[in-house]
Amino acid sequence: MNSDESEMREAVRELAAALETMLNLIRADALPTTPEAHRLMREVMVFLDASTDQIAAPDRHAEILPLASALNRLVISAREQILDDAVAASRMPDHPDV
Question: What is the model's pLDDT at position 43?
Answer: 92
24 CA to centre of own chain: 10
Q: How far from 11 is each of 14, 30, 84, 92, CA to CA, in Å? A: 5, 26, 28, 41
Q: Which residues of the chain have a pLDDT value below 50?
A: none
User: Tell me: the pLDDT tens digits for 21-30?
Assistant: 888 887 878 7
The pTM score is 0.75
